[in-house]
Structure formats: C-alpha cells, structure tokens
Chain A
Amino acid sequence: MVLTGRAGILAAAGVVFVALVMPSWAGVGVVVAAVLVVCLVDILLAGSPRRLQFSREGDNAVRLGEQAVVNLLITNPGRRVRGLLRDAWPPSAGVLDPPHKLDLPSGERRRLTTHLVPTRRGDRHAFRVTVRSIGPLGFAGRQGSHQVAWTVRALPPFKSRKHLPSRLARLRELDGRTALLVRGQGTEFDSLRDYVPGDDVRSIDWRATARRGNVVLRTWRPERDRQVVIVIDSGRLSAGRVGDAPRLDHAMDAALLLAALATRAGDRVSLLACDSAVRADVRRPAPQDVLPSFVNALANVEAELVQTDFRIVVSQVLERLGQRSLVVLLTGLDPAVIEESLLPVIGPLLRRHVVLLASVADPRLTELEATRGDLLDVYGAASAARTRLDRDRLTATLTRAGATVVDETPDHIAPALADTYLALKKAGRL
C-alpha cells in the first residue's frame, strides 16, 4: 500500500474542514472516513504489480568503465498499471537511470532500458524490480517487487592494451621475419645465408662454408611454443591500494598485456590466481581464447586479506609444467613476507624454470622520500628510505638467487613486464 501527495493534501484540507465547518468529533470522523474510503477505492482499482511478468535481455559482460545496456520486458496480463518502476541494482553496478515512469495498458508489453556503468570489477546481480501502481484517482496504490535474475560481469579494463602495438612491432623485429644473429639457450636454427661484412664471425657455419665455397652464416630465431605461466598473488600483498586501484588490478592489467604479447609470439600462456587457495585457473587456452578466458577468470578475483601460501603456487606451477618455461609471479615486494614464505620454497622453480618476479611499486614512497618539510616529513622520508633500501636488498637477494625482478610504478609495470619478456626472448633465455 502506498499513498500519494494527493492523499496528504486531502487530509490537510480535512483540517481546514474541521476548523471551519464541523469542529466536533463527527467532523474528525468525516475527514478520516473520507480519506480512508478514497484511498481504499483507489487501492482496489489500481492494477496489481504482482501479476506483471518480467524478462530481461541485453549485455552479460562489460569492460570496467564502459556502459552496459540491460533491457527489461514487462507484460501486463491484468488491469492497466500506471506509476513508477525501479530496477534496483547494487550501488557499484552504477545504474544511471532514475526510476522509470510506467503506463502499461492491459494485455500490452513494454521495454524499459537500464544503463549501467559498473564502478568495480566482478559480477553484479540484479536485485529487484519494484513497481508502484497508482490507482485511477491518484490518491493511493499498491507496490510489489519481483526478482528478475540477471548478472552483468564487469571485466578487468585492460587499460594497458594501448602499449600492445609498439610491443608487437618489437616482437616482429626479433621474430622469424628478422633473423637473429645471437645464439642463446632457447633459440632454434632458422636458415643459412651469405656472410655480409659486419656480421658476427661467431655465427659462421664452417661446415656449410666448406661445402659452398663462400662464407655462410647461420641465423636463429626465438623458440616458439614455449610455456608461460602467469601467477597472480591475490593475497594481502595485493590488497594495498596504489594510486586509485589495488595492486591486484595493476597486476591483472600487466598480466593481460603479457598474455596478449606472448600469445602473438607463439607461446602458450596459462594463468593462476592464488592466495591461500586457487582463485582462478586457466590452463593453456587456444590462442584466440586467451584474452576472453583470462578476463573472465579474473573478473571475480578480489584481494583476500590472508597470507598467500607460496607452497601452493610452487606445487601448482610444477605440476603443470614439464619443459623449461617462463614463470611470471605478480606479487608485492614485502621483504618480511617474501623472505619468510617465498624464498624457502622457490628453489625448485628457480632450478627448472625462468622466474620473473613483478611487483607494483608505490609512487607515494618516492614522494614521501623526497618531501622534507617539517619533522614528521623527515621521519617519513627516513621511513620511506628504509622501505626502499629493504626492497633493494630483497631485489638483490632474488636476483642472486636467479630470478628476474621487475619493480615499477602502476603506469609502467605493464610495459616494463612486456619489455622484460621481450628481452628474455631476445636473449634466448626462454
């Protein structure tokens, strides 16, 4: 049951009526009875919101920051329904429309459109559709809600895709189209060609030279079909907010750029998101499915406030990799945590695979270290300097152990990780 402003005006007019015409109990009774009767008649004449039938159609997924459109189809088998309709979603689904006006004659069907701009990654479930049906007199009405299930998945935005074209160009440079003269561990024989002055003499194939009579050179190309496993730490190290998003989101962005690049380079990419349990697991999707499957798997991963169990990470990675592969671990460089829980278990990984450890650095630390105003600023600078020194020491330890470390600010982490990948490929370390 709902009342409208008209009922309020009627009751207010009743006060004037009692004051001027009938100042008695009878007058009060007349006013109360009049308002009640009018409202009751209106409620009885209003169309029933319960009997409406709903269905939905529209977008199921949207990249974070873009707009999704979800349509609501309403069929009215009963009396005419006039009034308001609210399509309720959680606040972070970002509904743009105010409640819709509804005028649905008997037996007809309407389509209402709800525009959503999600403000957070993850699944957003439609909550309820509430209809307020006002009677023909406009004094009162009925209200009822329906559950009309629909889910819009807000996918990771992949902002770093703007860096992809330039990295692909560099990839082509070192791919088969431009033969390499550098021989590395992970390079395979490409072709023989004539020696041109300036070529590296170490690449001369003396056997072929002897056969052909002129100096012949071997060329190499980076090996293809290598395994790349991207591990995203979704534990508390990734929960900290750097800039306007958690470390986890920056890590996802970098992971998506690396996945796109590695797929184009002919490598097979797998994904693992893990804290105290595995949160997302994508194993070697077909090349055209890599990005869709990754963004779908990552859409619902949130940073958990628990300590990541790196033993799970190591055993999961070892389980799915046979040949020598690239393992990219996206985490935070917190000296205490890394030294205590990662370093003791990372040995087997380092022995069998190439390990690349990437971390999002906080530009706020640099800012803190550079600020020297009052006494608290000086202590802040000292504290930031201590944090940076600890990180540097940890980076040195990890590098000595054989891992490659990338520690960059949010804006640079994705391209820096891609560049490191290209450098490893170029050096033939894969």
Chain B
Amino acid sequence: MSTPVGRSVGESWRALRTPLLVTGFIVLAAIVVLIATSARTSGQFSPDSTESTGARALAALLEDHNVDVHGTESLNDAVRTGSGSALLIGPGGSLDDGDWRRIAQAQWSHVILIRPGSRALAALAPGVRPTGNSLATRSRQPGCELPAAVKAGTVTVNGPTYSAPEGATTCYGDGINNTVVRLEVGDRLVDVIGTPGSFMNARLAEDGNAALALNLLGTHRDLTWYLPQWESDYPDSNGESSAQLIPPDVRYIAWALAFAVLVVAIWRGRRLGPVVAERLPVIVHAAETTEGRARLYRRSRARDRAASALRESALGQLHEAHGIPRRADPSAVVATVAARTGRDPAMLYELLYGLPPLTDAALMSLSQELDVLTQEVRHP
C-alpha cells in the first residue's frame, strides 16, 4: 500500500558513489593540469607567450643557440645564487627596494634589465637614470663600439631612454638619450634595454633585432627569464596584522556563536516534506478582448468607429422600443423618434446619422446624448 520515498544510507552511498568518483577525478585532473602549467609564464615579454607582445620567438632562437631559458614568475628563482649564469628581468610588475636588493646580492654574472623602473636601476645599475624622453619607432645605427651592437647593425628602436654614467657603453641613441646601456658593476655585467618592442614576436624579424638580442642575451649557457609580479602581501609597517589586534577570547566566542547559528539554521531550515507543485489553469477574463479593443480604440483615437458602434447600438434599441422596421429609412426613423420624444428632428438626425465627432469632447457629448435618448426610450 505504501512505499518509502527517498533512500536508505546504503542506497545513498551507492547512488552517490559514481558522482563522487567523477568529481574527484575532475578535481584531481584540474590539480595535475595546474601543476603542469604552473611553470609556464604569460603576459607581456613572456618566453612562453605567442602573442605579438610575447617573446616566444626570441626564447626559441636562444634555445636553438644552446642557451637554456628558464621562464619564471617567482621571485625565489630570481634571488637564488646565480653565479655563472644570466638573469633577464622583464618589464612590468612591482617589487619593493628590499626585493631589488636581494636580487642584486644574488651574484648573477650577467643581468639584463628590460625597460626597468628607477628602483631597479638604483639597486642593479647605479648611475643609470631614465631621461623621461621616448624615441619614436625608427631603424637606427648602433653608434657605439659595443661588439654585440656593431655586429647586429641597424635595429628598429622605440621606447624610453636612459642616461649613462661615465665608463658605460651606450648604443642606439644620441649620446644623452640611449636605449641600450651596458656597464660593469663589480664583476657583473649589466645591460639596460629600453626597447622591449624590438625583441617581441611582432618585430623580432625586422632589421638586426634578432641578432642584437642573441648577442646581448646569449652570453651564458643558463638564462633565467624572470617576469616580476605584484609582490605586496607584506605586513603593516608596525609588523602586526589586524587579526592580532582582536583579543583571543572574542575569537572563541565568535566560533561558538557561529556553531550555534549553524545549529539554529539547520533546525529552522528543515522542511516537513517538499513543497507540492501543481499545474494551474490559465485565468483569462472573457471580456479581456473587448477591453483590449477599447484601449486600442483610444490609442488610435478611433472616434469614428467608436461613434458608429454607439450609434448603431442606440438605433437598435430605438428600433426595438418603437417597433420601427429594421430596414427603415433614416428620415422615417428620425420622424418617428422625434414624434415620440418631442425632440428637434434636425438635431436628432445629426445625433443618429451625423458625421463622426472630431474631438474627444465631441465623442463624450455624443455618447451622453445617445445615453439620455435610450434612457428616455426605456423609461418614458
């Protein structure tokens, strides 16, 4: 007679097993994919990006010339001891002075700064300063003695320029504003390059761009390609986070309160069986079409149609009340009604057979007069 609805514990487990397995597999797969792709970098000047602003082409060229390129977005990779290898620091991101100092202390043999900011220059290339001027896109001669630049020849250059201290080699500029600056800091070689556009996928093939890039970057067998990120999760200047300002007791009370709220929510939220759904009939009033037509009449100001309907209706009642034949002549109708009601025949003719009213007010008065006339007929 009765059958239980819902599932027992065993049935629930059997029913949930497959979905749980599938969900677990999907989560696992997502984790694996995340780990597998976490080494990859993305964005502007990334060695893995094939977009026009990426530098995949340059990275591939370097690989062809036996340079191992390690793309990374992690600061830890940039501050490890890098003796005997080169570090390229891409444009963008935001590091504070401490981070830059840590990079500077990390004994890299060769550091290439792509469009660096003033903090990076202060830490890694003392004496080099941004001039604030930019060069328009143009092919330029090296104009310096740097072998890497001389061999590469003309290069398409644009972007910010830098001024160099004494003893630095400056190329691709006018002597004060330069886009490539090489200097030696201690036993470390530092290149400051203001024109990343020349080495991106879009323009690497123009002029001697590729040759210059290979000459500048291919100095060591190991090249760490670091793209700085936004590293800003640092405690306040006091060294205290806001969580430590709350007394510990309040925290325990809050947890106990949260548990109590959960219990009350489960108590109040459980329904005594589901809501019963039901198909309901459509409710449309039969007079809906007539009312709709009235609104249409008004919107299109169909005074002529409204008046003719009212007149026809009134005439029907007059015919019935006075026993006038249906097909009677208008003049005969007017004469009969005039005789019975004592109205002026001309006015009556105008009322029953006249022209359509031209204004809403005329329609209103027509309707009133017809109403009075039919009332008189009904209750003489």
Residues of A near any B CB (own CB < 8 A): 2-5, 7-8, 10-12, 14-15, 17-19, 23-25, 27-28, 31-32, 35, 50, 52-56, 84, 86, 88-92, 99, 120, 127-130, 132, 143-148, 239-242, 246-247, 302-303, 305, 332, 360, 362, 364-365, 368-369, 372, 375-376, 378-389, 392
CA–CA, A31 and B316, complex, Å: 87
* 6 sampled A-B residue pairs with Cβ under 8 A: A3-B263, A5-B267, A27-B252, A50-B8, A145-B5, A378-B310
Instruction: Write the chain B residue with the least CB distance to A127.
Output: B276
A384, B290: Cβ atoms closer than 8 Å: yes
CA–CA, A210 and B208, complex, Å: 142
Check if B13 is an interface residue, CB within 8 A of chain A.
no
A18, B253: Cβ atoms closer than 8 Å: yes
Given the known inter-chain contacts A146-B5, A378-B363, please indicate yes or no for A364 contacting B272, CB distance below 8 A. Answer: no
CA–CA, A162 and B171, complex, Å: 112
Question: Could you list 10 further interchain pairs (A-B, Cβ under 8 angstroms) beyond the known A147-B3, A380-B294, A383-B309?
Answer: A12-B264, A90-B277, A129-B2, A239-B281, A242-B285, A302-B281, A375-B298, A379-B294, A383-B291, A392-B316
Cross-chain contact of B287 among A11, A28, A364 (Cβ < 8 A): A364
CA–CA, A137 and B175, complex, Å: 91
Q: Which chain B residues (262-318) contact chain A, with CB distance < 8 Å?
A: 262-264, 266-267, 270, 272-274, 276-278, 280-291, 293-295, 297-298, 305-307, 309-310, 312-313, 316
Interface of B is mostly: helix
Given the known inter-chain contacts A365-B290, A376-B298, A383-B297, please indicate yes or no for A14 contacting B256, CB distance below 8 A. Answer: yes
Residues of B near any A CB (own CB < 8 A): 1-6, 8, 248-249, 252-253, 255-257, 259-260, 262-264, 266-267, 270, 272-274, 276-278, 280-291, 293-295, 297-298, 305-307, 309-310, 312-313, 316, 360, 363-364, 367-368, 371
CA–CA, A305 and B283, complex, Å: 11
B6, A145: Cβ atoms closer than 8 Å: yes
Shortest distance in angstroms between B375's beta carbon and chain A's nearest beta carbon? 10
Cross-chain contact of A19 among B2, B253, B290, B364 (Cβ < 8 A): B253
Given the known inter-chain contacts A28-B252, A385-B313, please indicate yes or no for A2 contacting B270, CB distance below 8 A. Answer: yes
Instruction: Write the chain A residue with the least CB distance to B288.
Output: A240
B287, A148: Cβ atoms closer than 8 Å: no
A3, B270: Cβ atoms closer than 8 Å: yes
B281, A246: Cβ atoms closer than 8 Å: yes
B281, A35: Cβ atoms closer than 8 Å: no
Cross-chain contact of B294 among A11, A90, A383 (Cβ < 8 A): A383
B249, A23: Cβ atoms closer than 8 Å: yes
Contacts of B363 in A (CB 8 A): 375, 378
Residue among B3, B253, B273, B276 with the highest chain A CB neighbour number at 10 A:
B273
B286, A148: Cβ atoms closer than 8 Å: no
B267, A18: Cβ atoms closer than 8 Å: no
Instruction: Write the chain A residue with the least CB distance to B248.
Output: A23
Given the known inter-chain contacts A14-B259, A23-B253, A28-B259, please indicate yes or no for A372 contacting B267, CB distance below 8 A. Answer: no
Cross-chain contact of A145 among B270, B273, B283, B305 (Cβ < 8 A): B273
A381, B286: Cβ atoms closer than 8 Å: no
B283, A241: Cβ atoms closer than 8 Å: yes
B316, A128: Cβ atoms closer than 8 Å: no
B2, A7: Cβ atoms closer than 8 Å: no
Contacts of A7 in B (CB 8 A): 263, 267
Instruction: Write the chain B residue with the least CB distance to A72.
Output: B2
A362, B276: Cβ atoms closer than 8 Å: no
Contacts of A18 in B (CB 8 A): 252-253, 255-256
Contacts of B6 in A (CB 8 A): 144-145
Contacts of B264 in A (CB 8 A): 8, 11-12
CA–CA, A86 and B255, complex, Å: 36
Task: Please provide the 8 A-B residue pairs with the shortest distance between their CB atoms, ordered closest to farther.
Answer: A240-B286, A130-B273, A382-B306, A54-B2, A385-B313, A11-B260, A383-B294, A145-B5
Contacts of B364 in A (CB 8 A): 375, 378
Contacts of A4 in B (CB 8 A): 267
Instruction: Write the chain B residue with the least CB distance to A238.
Output: B286
Contacts of A5 in B (CB 8 A): 267
Given the known inter-chain contacts A239-B284, A364-B286, A364-B287, please indicate yes or no for A379 contacting B298, CB distance below 8 A. Answer: yes
Contacts of A55 in B (CB 8 A): 1-2
Residue among B252, B256, B259, B363 with the highest chain A CB neighbour number at 10 A:
B256
Contacts of B309 in A (CB 8 A): 382-383, 385-386, 389
Contacts of B290 in A (CB 8 A): 365, 368, 380, 383-384, 387
Contacts of B285 in A (CB 8 A): 240-242, 364
CA–CA, A364 and B291, complex, Å: 10
Residue among A14, A127, A369, A378 with the highest chain B CB neighbour number at 10 A:
A378
B307, A145: Cβ atoms closer than 8 Å: no
B1, A369: Cβ atoms closer than 8 Å: no
A303, B281: Cβ atoms closer than 8 Å: yes
CA–CA, A240 and B260, complex, Å: 54
Contacts of A15 in B (CB 8 A): 253, 256-257, 260
CA–CA, A12 and B263, complex, Å: 9
Shortest distance in angstroms between B346's beta carbon and chain A's nearest beta carbon? 24
B272, A132: Cβ atoms closer than 8 Å: yes
Contacts of B310 in A (CB 8 A): 378, 381-382, 385
Given the known inter-chain contacts A5-B267, A23-B253, A388-B313, please indicate yes or no for A128 contacting B297, CB distance below 8 A. Answer: no
CA–CA, A120 and B263, complex, Å: 41
Contacts of B307 in A (CB 8 A): 382
Contacts of B291 in A (CB 8 A): 368, 380, 383
Instruction: Write the chain A residue with the least CB distance to B247.
Output: A23
Instruction: Write the chain A residue with the least CB distance to B249.
Output: A23
